[in-house]
Amino acid sequence: MPKPNGYTRNLFQKMRQWRHDIHRHPELAFEENRTSNMVAGLLDEWGIEVHRGIGSTGVVGILRRGTSARSIGLRADMDALGIREQNDFPHRSVHEGKMHACGHDGHTAMLLGAACHLSRQDSFDGTVVFVFQPAEEHGEGARAMLSDGLFERFPVDQIYAIHNFPSLETGFFAVRAGPIMAAEDNFEITIDGAGCHAAMPHLGRDPILIGAEIVMAMQSLVARTLNPMEHAVVSFTEFITNGTINVVPGQVILRGDTRSLTPEVQDHIETTMERIVAGICAAHGADYRFNYRRNFVPTINTVAEAAIAAQTAAAVAGAARVAGDTRPVMTSEDFGYMLQARPGAYVLLGNGAEGVGGCSLHNPAYDFNDEILTIGADFWVELVQSQLRSA
């Protein structure tokens, strides 16, 4: 039995090489052709059964050992962001305006490292399903894989994912039972008033005044209609009018973004928002259209699997480096859709508290911290060996 935290140490250079290669060639959602070719090629080389085209550019690898019917899914995301990279190291993006600013290059490399190691071992009994997912950033990739029958074609008892996390110390893990990342919804409110001469406002119905009232009143939604122990964010991000300097507009469009941690709060935000909009528009005799779109469900870890993830992290990093009941974060993640279908857990792995590793996700100066490749891959190996333990 290899020493904990040592399973994939000899694969470090390889993982680093794959990570830099992917970082240099970032691909946006559903365009991960080069990346998925690379993943599929390597899995195939290691004798892992490969399935392409699951959710467009998604790749699934199947590795079986022994006779057990148990199975476990390990998921990495592969897509990059439409950001112009500001770094100047040798593995800087060669595709102007595209960048791995969320560390999915590192997630892919860690899961490849684990797959390579496990393909050479006889250390488990059951089936490992390696899920290389496209298009996480826009929240469509997980759903695309699921609607292509991911879990029907490749059944798993449990599913797990790791995301690197700047601000958390290098190689530390954080997980929790229950919601760990938020739902993201977007809204658009169209207010139809009546335009008029700026000097004769009584002849129109000013939608700017109505819109401003809506923006202000909406802050009472979180502050005064939600239990203070619940978490939610309501942010207006666009206020668009068709007026000009001396003309009161006829129409205003307000857009924005909401975050919440439970489906109940998500429902509450949607219905309360529309009630506030309807009430204020009625008071002013204006018409409105309210459009509310759900993009990401909350990412909700199941209790038993969150505990399994914490134990696994403690086995590879030491208990002192694991927070088993971390605070949830209000960003979003489409792995939540996979967790609606199967029990499992989403785990945060510290990218570093300061320096390069501490640079926030989606920042043009971000880079995945290579120091955590081994610990992340070791987590995957340990998880497989403990959950698919040989008799």
Q: How far is the CB of 137 from Zn ion (least distance, A)?
A: 5
Smallest separation (angstroms) from Zn ion to the CB of 185 = 17
Q: Which amino acid would we find at residue 121?
A: Q
User: Residue 326 in contact with residue 179, Cβ under 8 Å?
Assistant: no
* Nearer to Zn ion (CB atom), residue 102 or residue 191: 102
Task: State which residue, 99 or 102, has the beta carbon closest to Zn ion.
Answer: 102
CB 243 within 8 A of CB 251: no
Which stretches of the chain bind Zn ion, using CB under 5 A?
A: 102
Distances in Å between the alpha carbon of 63 and those of 58, 184, 208?
A: 17, 34, 60
Q: In the bound complex, what is the minimum distance in angstroms from residue 331's beta carbon to Zn ion?
A: 8
CB 4 to Zn ion: min, Å: 27
C-beta of 102 vs 214, nearer to Zn ion:
102
Residue whose Cβ sits closest to Zn ion: 102
Residues with catalytic roles:
79, 136
- Please give the single-letter amino acid code of residue 168: L
Structure tokens at 320: 């002192």
Residue type, 316: V
Provide the minimum distance between the beta carbon of 252 and Zn ion in the complex, in angstroms, as a whole number: 31
Of the pair 102, 338, the CB lying nearest Zn ion is at 102
- Which tokens go with 288? 């409105």
> What are the Cα distances from residue 312, in Å, to 136, 169, 226, 257, 318?
25, 18, 36, 35, 9
Residue 282: CB atoms within 10 A of its CB come to 11
Phi-psi region of 149 (alpha: psi -120 to 50; beta: other; left: phi over 0): left
Are the CB atoms for 218 and 290 separated by under 8 Å?
Answer: no
Q: How far is CA 252 from the centre of its chain?
A: 32
Give the residue with the Cβ less far from Zn ion, 164 or 272. 164
